[in-house]
Amino acid sequence: MIGYSDFLSSKTHSASEFGFNPVWVPDFLHGFQRSLVEWSCSKGRSAIFADCGLGKTPMQLVWAENVVRKTGGRVLVLTPLAVAQQTKREAHKFGIEADVCRDGKLGSASIVIANYERLHYFTPGDFQGVVCDESSILKNFDGVTKAAITEFMRTRPYRLLCTATAAPNDYIELGTSSEAIGELGFADMLSKFFKKVEKTYTRADEHRGGVYRIRGHAVDDFWRWVCSWARAMQKPSDIGFDDNGFILPPLNVRQHIVKARTLKEGWLFDVPAVGLKEQREERRRTIKERCEMAARLVSQTGKPAICWCHLNDEGDMLTSMIDDAVQVSGKDSDERKEEVFEAFSSGQVRVIVSKPVIAGFGLNWQHCAHQTFFPSHSFEQWYQAVRRSWRFGQSSPVTVDVISSEGESDVLENLNRKQDAANTMFRNLVKMMNDSLQVRSKPYGTEKEEVPSWL
C-alpha cells in the first residue's frame, strides 16, 4: 500500500527521470552553467531555454561529453546551417573532441556535429544522445522534416534541447519541445491544459486545429509541468546566481519611416496596409526607398553592419547600393554560406546582407554593433536577428535601425505586442520554475490546514 503523499505525487504532471550524475564538470563553466549541466544530466531528457550569450554551446558540449563518458557511445549535435563549424571551434577551445559530419560517414570523434538538413544521412542507432541546438528552429521546417527530427530524437535514451526563444508568443508551441524529449505529446498536452477557442484566425491556426488558451484552473499546473523538464533564464540571477559579467549593453532601436514615391493604384494618398496581402504589396512597392535608407545609414559609419531583408529583390538591391557588402542568399551552397559567415566573423567582410531565416540562428557576431532591419510579423526572426549582435559578450551599445513605410505601422505594433508576450512568458516561466522548486522541497501534508472562517 502506498502512502497518501506518494499517491498525490503520482497524480501530478511532471517529467520522468532518465539521467545520471554527471561524471565530468569542468572548471571553465560558470556557476549557473554548471548547475544547468548537472540538472540536465540528472534528467537525461530536458530543455534549456537560456538567452543568447549565456553559453548554451559549452553547456550542450559538456552535456554531450558526459553522455559519451557514461555510455561509451556517440552523441549527435544538430545545429542550424553554418553554426556547425562554430560549434566545432568552441569544442576544441574547451578541449572536447568533436567533428563536423555532412554525409553520415562517422569518423573517430564521439561527438558528431551536423546541420538539421543533413539528418537523413544518419542512423539513430549510432548515437546514445542527441542535442538540438536552437531547437526553436524546428517549427520553421516543413511537417515532414520536423516529424523526422522528432522521431529521430524519440528513440534515443538521452536528449537535450537548447534555445533562447521557446514559444515567445504562443505557449502551445512548447508541446513540440515536450514531444521531442519524450514527455507529453502535443495533442495530450492540449487536452490536459488547454481549451479550444472556436474562432480561428490564420491558416497556421487552422492547420493546428484551431486556437487554444490555457484552462483557468490549470495555469499553475501547466507551468509546473513545463518546469519539471525545462529550465529558463534570461540572466544568471533568474536561477540564483550573480549577474556579474552578464549585463547587456544598451540597445538603441531607431525607427525610420520612409515615404513611398508612388501611390497605390487608384488612391490619392497612402493609408496603412490592412491584411497580409496589402502589406506584401506595400513592401514590394517601397523596396527602393527602404533600401536607399538602409544603405545610407550603413555606408556613412564605415563599421561592421548587418542588413536584414526578407525578399530576394531587397537583398540584391542592398548589395548593389553598399560598395563593400556581401550577400548570403538561399540559392548559395552550404559551403558558400559558411565561407561568407566566417569572413564576416573574422572582419574580412564589413557588411553582410541576408535573411533572418538564413543567418538569424546561433551565430555569434558580437564584433558588430549596427544592424538595419525591415520588419515582418515574425517576432522570433526579429529577436534572433537582433541577438546576433546584442548578446552577452558584446562590449558596445548596439543600434538597430528599423526601416518601414508609412503604410506598415500595423507591423511595428504587432512586433511590440509580441515582445510584451515574450517578456510575460519568460517572467511566468522563471517565476513558476522557482515556485515549483520550492513546492517540491515541501512534502505533501506538511503545511498546517486552516478551517475557513465561514465554517
Domain parsing of the chain, residue ranges: 4-244, 251-264+276-415
CA angle centred on 192, ends 161 and 138, rounded to 5°: 25
**By the 8 A CB rule, do 118 and 78 touch?**
no
How far is Cα 227 from Cα 122, in angstroms, rounded to an integer? Answer: 31
The grid coordinates listed for 303 are: 563599421
Q: What is the structure's pLDDT at 406?
A: 77
What dotted CATH number matches 4-244?
Answer: 3.40.50.10810
What's the first-to-final CA gap in the chain, in angstroms? 34
- For the domain made up of 251-264+276-415, the CATH class stated in words is alpha beta
How far is Cα 382 from Cα 374, in angstroms, rounded to an integer? Answer: 9
Q: What is the structure's pLDDT at 249?
A: 93
Reading the chain (455 residues) residue by residue, the pLDDT tens digits are 555 555 444 444 445 568 999 999 999 999 999 999 999 999 999 999 888 889 999 999 999 999 999 999 999 999 987 788 889 999 999 999 999 999 989 989 999 999 988 999 999 999 999 999 988 776 666 667 778 888 898 889 999 999 886 554 456 667 778 888 888 888 888 888 888 876 555 544 444 456 788 888 888 888 888 888 988 888 899 888 999 889 999 999 999 988 876 656 655 555 555 555 666 777 888 899 999 999 999 998 999 999 999 999 999 999 999 999 999 999 999 889 989 999 999 999 999 999 998 998 888 999 999 999 998 878 888 888 999 999 988 999 999 999 988 777 677 777 878 878 777 777 777 777 777 565 444 444 444 545 445 54
The pTM for the full model equals 0.81
Fold match, 4-244 / 251-264+276-415: yes
Q: What is the structure's pLDDT at 59?
A: 97
Q: What is the structure's pLDDT at 100?
A: 94
How far is Cα 195 from Cα 449, in angstroms, rounded to an integer? Answer: 32
Q: What is the structure's pLDDT at 113?
A: 96
Q: What is the structure's pLDDT at 252?
A: 94
The grid coordinates listed for 228 are: 519539471
